[in-house]
Amino acid sequence: MALLKNISTDYGVYASYWKITEISLNLDGSCDLVLSGYYNEETRDANLLHLKKMEFHIDSNIVVHYFPSGLDMAQVYAFLKTTGEFGGAEDI
């Protein structure tokens, strides 16, 4: 699972394929995650370096509300599509 959304990078090209590459549930119930952006799915599958990383901190009250049964990855991606730059992203 991943998200499809063109987001500009410092390299003058867009990262369009976004994959959660790090996720942790903290003792206070909050969650930290990292999305790594790649040029496309093929560059990710080839284990090439990401073009951009974006870090997110999700407060515990949001975790409890959006993820009541735990950090189901489909729910996490669905939540990310409601935030900032990932609004309107498509599932891949």
Tell me the whole-structure pTM to 2 decimals: 0.90
The two tokens of residue 50 are 């990401």
The yes-or-no verdict on residue 71 having pLDDT over 90 is: no
Query: How far apart are the two ends of the chain, measured CA to CA in Å?
Result: 6
Measured distance CA(16)–CA(88) in Å, rounded: 13
Contact 38, 69 (CB under 8 A): no
User: Tell me: the pLDDT tens digits for 1-59?
Assistant: 999 999 999 999 999 999 999 999 999 999 999 999 999 999 999 999 999 999 999 99
Please give the radius of gyration of the chain, using alpha carbons only, rounded to the nearest integer: 13
The secondary structure element, H or E, covering residue 10 is: none
Q: Is 14 helix (H, G, I), strand (E, B) or coil?
A: strand
pLDDT at 42: 96
Domain boundaries, the chain: 3-86
